[in-house]
């Protein structure tokens, strides 16, 4: 075998898959190392893609030329749009997917990708010469040369699973763990931390009483994650809702001494926004119940995922907890829940390109960076892959700003603020979320992907077609309708009748009138693409807010454009508080705006920094 590559990606989870795919797509000869080929893009935890904030990330990955959206659409068995009771900024697509099909489809896609070689093997050492990456050594002692390496080890570094007092040194779902690389990362002087996440029990579908649960069917007419997906996705599997109760909580509280989260067995820091059931019960003692979602794991299995019951309690306590819940009284457990601890990297070791600051050609993406979730991992993977390719081509890094994409918010939060717990994307983290909607991800990012070389002709043609559909609608927005023609729909919606003829533009700007209503009164608009029409409606309804947000982005951009010298000695700048000096020296921000977002750096410190830069003409 040829052991020479342009780039090597360590780990074939959701981050590694995107990084390897995009590197190969950019004509880089790439090696993808996986501990097990059965673990390629495996969904070890929840069997879904998307959700609040996360759906935005998947749409953005797709807009940049990634593959998570395509594979998710292929494997979807139910689709829902979340947060429809709120404004369009937070509408988030969520798909229940067939986890086994997702794995098989992603693996097949990678196997069929030109320039990409997939190899089962464990990375033992990243080779560095004169501060630059030169290759990787595997556990078998084989050496592969490369000028760029992306670390995407997920939760596999020195991982162990914990159920009660049962502890086993393995990766998620029983896959082998990576036990060799952490020592190398420590030897390279990198800051390694210990995080924890968890998963609930799975149960046999035939043992569940669905009649006493609330059925949750999919929504009709949702968009797809990928602009390349034609037609509708599969949407015929139901999910179910039930609740914990006082008996469930009593069982948990009486057995807290057996809970690894509370008796000291688990040392890693867990996620605040996706806690175990025992943590929820103790943290929210005023609540007499918590939601439990019963979700299918796929179309080829009878296993059901008990969302909301993540736990590391002993097996017998898990059984009692489960059987205390309405509809699960006789549920047969197929897999017990467990917590998993793993080593991860302090994301402050990275810059905004996801390059590790200490070494050239070394990148990191996914849960090893302290994040959680498949979507967050995939988003980091595509950016790390793009920047590893640009490094190989001696091009400047691609820095995706937080006012441009949720991906930018995710990366900026990690590398600027760091995280003391597994980071989860939420819409509330984006200050410009009305501008960063999921329905305009392609309009924000596809042209950029085209310039980067990640958007191929087929995807770009679809994008141009969508732009043309939007323009067709915008060109006829001045078409006017008589009072009589809009009377019925206005009365139906509780909207005040106009005093004279009303244009389509004015019609769509009204609070209670929608694109669907416009189609009812106009065959011309009814013949247009419905998703393009919905986009135009949102843009018109929120036009004033969008203008204000655009101005705020423009104002903030002045600070984003002010770059800071890489070798700036913050410790020697008089007037900066000691904490600000230490934080600035640790993060080494690329821009003045990034410096202002560092935790512990105050506005007064930024003023001192600006004056210093002016005085020294930097």
Helix (H, G, I), strand (E, B) or coil at 496: coil
Query: Are 357 and 320 in a shared domain?
Result: no
In 3D space, the residue among 51, 100, 19, 45 whose CA is nearest the CA of residue 375 turns out to be 51
In 3D space, the residue among 364, 368, 378 whose CA is nearest the CA of residue 342 turns out to be 368
| Residue-level pLDDT at 281 | 94
Query: Are 127 and 220 in a shared domain?
Result: no
Query: Are 326 and 397 in a shared domain?
Result: no
Compute the distance between CA of residue 70 and CA of residue 561 in angstroms, rounded to an integer: 35
- Examine the pLDDT at 540 and tell me if it is beyond 90: yes
Query: Are 482 and 421 in a shared domain?
Result: no
Mean pLDDT of 422-447: 95
Q: How confident is the model at residue 474 (pLDDT cuts 50, 70, 90)?
A: very high
Q: What is the 3-state secondary structure (H, E, C) of 5-59?
A: CCEEEECCCHHHHHHHHHHHHCCCCEEEEECCHHHCCCCCCCCEEECCCHHHHHH
Q: How many CB atoms lie within 10 A of CB 447?
A: 15
- Percent of the chain whose predicted confidence (pLDDT) is above 70: 100
Query: Are 360 and 324 in a shared domain?
Result: no
Q: How confident is the model at residue 395 (pLDDT cuts 50, 70, 90)?
A: very high
Domain that holds residue 574: 562-615
User: Is 553 among the domain residues?
Assistant: no
Last residue of a domain, one of 338, 363, 387: 338
- Examine the pLDDT at 301 and tell me if it is beyond 90: yes
Mean pLDDT of 549-556: 87
Structure tokens at 90: 């937070």
Helix (H, G, I), strand (E, B) or coil at 297: coil
Q: How confident is the model at residue 559 (pLDDT cuts 50, 70, 90)?
A: confident
Q: How confident is the model at residue 2 (pLDDT cuts 50, 70, 90)?
A: confident
Query: Are 21 and 88 in a shared domain?
Result: yes
- Examine the pLDDT at 273 and tell me if it is beyond 80: no
User: Is 457 among the domain residues?
Assistant: no
- Examine the pLDDT at 447 and tell me if it is beyond 90: yes
| Residue-level pLDDT at 617 | 84
User: Is 168 among the domain residues?
Assistant: no
Give the max Cα distance, the chain: 81
User: Is 2 among the domain residues?
Assistant: no
Q: Return the beta strands (E) in 493-564 as ranges.
A: 502-503
- Examine the pLDDT at 272 and tell me if it is beyond 80: no
Compute the distance between CA of residue 487 and CA of residue 520 in angstroms, rounded to an integer: 12
Last residue of a domain, one of 338, 353, 374: 338
| Residue-level pLDDT at 276 | 92
User: Is 41 among the domain residues?
Assistant: yes
Task: Give the pLDDT confidence of 596-608 residue by residue, as tens digits.
Answer: 999 888 888 898 9
User: Is 445 among the domain residues?
Assistant: no
The residues with which 292 forms a beta bridge, in sequence order, are 242
Query: Are 42 and 186 in a shared domain?
Result: yes
- Examine the pLDDT at 373 and tell me if it is beyond 80: yes
In 3D space, the residue among 559, 570, 557, 563 whose CA is nearest the CA of residue 612 turns out to be 570
Phi, psi of 416 (to 5 degrees): -100, -45
Q: What is the CATH number of the domain that holds 577?
A: 1.10.150.570
Structure tokens at 29: 């000869």
What's the chain's average pLDDT? 95
Q: Residue 430: which region, alpha, beta or left (left: phi > 0; alpha: psi -120 to 50)?
A: beta
Q: How many CB atoms lie within 10 A of CB 565?
A: 10
The residues with which 91 forms a beta bridge, in sequence order, are none
Q: What is the CATH number of the domain that holds 484?
A: 1.10.10
User: Is 459 among the domain residues?
Assistant: no
User: Is 443 among the domain residues?
Assistant: no
Q: How confident is the model at residue 195 (pLDDT cuts 50, 70, 90)?
A: very high
Q: Is 83 exposed, middle or buried (0-12, 13-18, 19+ CB in 10 A)?
A: middle
Query: Are 191 and 241 in a shared domain?
Result: no
Count of residues for the chain?
Answer: 618
Phi, psi of 432 (to 5 degrees): -115, 40
| Residue-level pLDDT at 262 | 85
Query: Are 103 and 51 in a shared domain?
Result: yes
| Residue-level pLDDT at 570 | 94
Report which DSSP code applies to 172: G
Mean pLDDT of 83-99: 95
Mean pLDDT of 197-203: 96
129-138, 172-181, 485-494, 575-584: which range is least confident on average?
575-584
Helix (H, G, I), strand (E, B) or coil at 390: helix
Rounded (5°) CA angle 447-448-453:
95
| Residue-level pLDDT at 566 | 86
Mean pLDDT of 405-418: 96
| Residue-level pLDDT at 504 | 97
Task: Give the pLDDT confidence of 14-68 residue by residue, as tens digits.
Answer: 999 999 999 999 999 999 999 999 999 999 999 999 999 999 999 999 999 999 9
Structure tokens at 34: 């996986």
Mean pLDDT of 281-309: 96
| Residue-level pLDDT at 199 | 95
Mean pLDDT of 183-211: 97
| Residue-level pLDDT at 173 | 92
Query: Are 189 and 214 in a shared domain?
Result: no
**First-last CA distance in the chain:** 50
Mean pLDDT of 154-165: 96
Query: Are 417 and 314 in a shared domain?
Result: no
Q: How confident is the model at residue 556 (pLDDT cuts 50, 70, 90)?
A: confident
Query: Are 367 and 307 in a shared domain?
Result: no
Last residue of a domain, one of 274, 308, 338: 338
Q: What is the CATH number of the domain that holds 423?
A: 3.50.50.60
- Percent of the chain whose predicted confidence (pLDDT) is above 90: 89
Give the number of C-alpha atoms closer than 13 A to the C-alpha of residue 558, restricted to the C-beta side.
5
- Examine the pLDDT at 337 and tell me if it is beyond 90: yes
Structurally, how many domains does the chain consist of? 4
Q: How confident is the model at residue 489 (pLDDT cuts 50, 70, 90)?
A: very high
DSSP per residue, 336-376: --EEEEEEEE-GGGB-TTSBBTTSBTEEE-SGGGTB-SHHH
Q: What is the CATH number of the domain that holds 302?
A: 2.40.30.260
| Residue-level pLDDT at 268 | 80
318-322, 499-503, 604-608: which range is least confident on average?
604-608
Task: Give the pLDDT confidence of 144-159 residue by residue, as tens digits.
Answer: 999 999 999 999 999 9
| Residue-level pLDDT at 377 | 98
Phi, psi of 190 (to 5 degrees): -90, 145
Per the CB < 8 A criterion, the answer to whether 362 and 412 are in contact is no
| Residue-level pLDDT at 486 | 96
Helix (H, G, I), strand (E, B) or coil at 473: helix
Q: Is 429 exposed, middle or buried (0-12, 13-18, 19+ CB in 10 A)?
A: middle
Q: Which residues contact 25 (CB under 8 A, 6 or more apart)?
A: 65, 113, 115, 453, 454, 456
Query: What is the crossing angle of helices 457-474 and 441-452, to 10°?
Result: 140
| Residue-level pLDDT at 600 | 85
What is the radius of gyration, based on Cα positions, of the chain?
26
Task: Give the pLDDT confidence of 230-253 residue by residue, as tens digits.
Answer: 999 999 999 999 999 999 999 999
């Amino acid at each position: 075998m040829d052991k020479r590559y342009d780039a090597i990606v360590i780990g074939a989870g959701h981050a590694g898959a995107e990084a390897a795919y995009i590197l190969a797509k950019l004509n880089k000869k790439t090696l993808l190392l996986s501990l097990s080929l059965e673990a390629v893009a495996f969904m070890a935890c929840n069997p879904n893609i998307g959700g609040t904030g996360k759906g935005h990330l998947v749409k953005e990955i797709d807009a940049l030329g990634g593959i998570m959206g395509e594979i998710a659409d292929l494997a979807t068995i139910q689709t829902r749009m979340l947060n429809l009771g709120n404004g369009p900024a937070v509408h988030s697509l969520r798909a229940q997917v067939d986890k086994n099909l997702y794995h098989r489809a992603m693996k097949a896609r990678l196997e069929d990708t030109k320039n990409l070689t997939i190899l089962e093997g464990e990375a033992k050492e990243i080779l560095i010469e004169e501060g630059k990456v030169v290759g990787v050594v595997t556990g078998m002692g084989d050496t592969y040369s490369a000028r760029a390496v992306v670390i995407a080890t997920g939760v596999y570094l020195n991982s162990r699973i914990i159920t009660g007092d049962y502890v086993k040194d393995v990766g998620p779902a029983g896959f082998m763990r990576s036990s060799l690389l952490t020592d190398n990362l420590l030897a390279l002087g990198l800051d390694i931390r210990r995080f924890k996440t968890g998963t609930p029990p799975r149960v046999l579908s035939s043992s569940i009483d669905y009649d006493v649960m609330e059925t949750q069917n999919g929504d009709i007419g949702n968009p797809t994650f990928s602009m390349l997906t034609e037609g509708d996705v599969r949407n015929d599997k139901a999910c179910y809702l039930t609740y914990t109760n006082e008996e469930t909580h009593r069982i948990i509280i009486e057995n807290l001494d057996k809970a690894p989260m509370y008796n000291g067995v688990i040392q890693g820091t867990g996620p605040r926004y996706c806690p175990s059931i025992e943590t929820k019960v103790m943290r929210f003692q005023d609540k007499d119940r918590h939601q439990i979602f019963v979700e299918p794991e796929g179309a080829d299995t009878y296993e059901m995922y008990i969302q909301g019951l993540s736990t590391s309690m002993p097996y017998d306590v898990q059984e009692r907890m489960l059987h205390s819940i309405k509809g699960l009284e006789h549920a047969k457990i197929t897999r017990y829940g467990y917590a998993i601890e793993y080593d991860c990297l302090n994301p402050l070791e990275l810059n905004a390109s996801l390059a590790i600051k200490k070494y050239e050609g070394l990148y990191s993406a996914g849960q090893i960076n302290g994040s959680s979730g498949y979507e967050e991992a995939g988003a980091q993977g595509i950016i790390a892959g793009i920047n590893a390719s640009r490094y190989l081509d001696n091009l400047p890094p691609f820095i995706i700003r937080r006012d441009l994409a949720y991906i930018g918010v995710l990366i900026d939060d990690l590398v600027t603020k760091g995280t003391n717990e597994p980071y989860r994307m939420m819409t509330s983290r984006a200050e410009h979320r009305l501008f960063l909607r999921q329905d305009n991800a392609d309009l924000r990012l596809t042209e950029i992907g085209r310039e980067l070389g990640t958007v191929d002709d087929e995807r770009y043609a679809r994008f141009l077609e969508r732009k043309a559909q939007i323009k067709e609608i915008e060109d006829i927005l001045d078409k006017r309708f008589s009072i009589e023609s809009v009377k019925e729909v206005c009365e139906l919606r509780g909207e005040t009748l106009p005093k004279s003829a009303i244009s389509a533009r004015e019609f769509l700007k009204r609070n209670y009138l929608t694109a669907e209503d416009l189609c009812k009164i106009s065959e011309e608009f009814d013949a247009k693409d419905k998703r393009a029409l919905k986009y135009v409606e949102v843009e018109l309804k929120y036009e004033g807010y969008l203008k204000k947000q655009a101005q705020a982005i423009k104002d903030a951009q002045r600070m984003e454009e002010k770059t800071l010298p890489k070798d700036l000695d913050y410790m020697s700048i008089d007037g900066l508080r000691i904490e600000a000096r230490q934080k600035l020296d640790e993060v080494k921000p690329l821009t003045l705006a990034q410096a202002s977002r560092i935790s512990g750096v105050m506005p007064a410190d930024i003023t001192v920094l600006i004056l210093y830069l002016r005085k020294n003409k930097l």
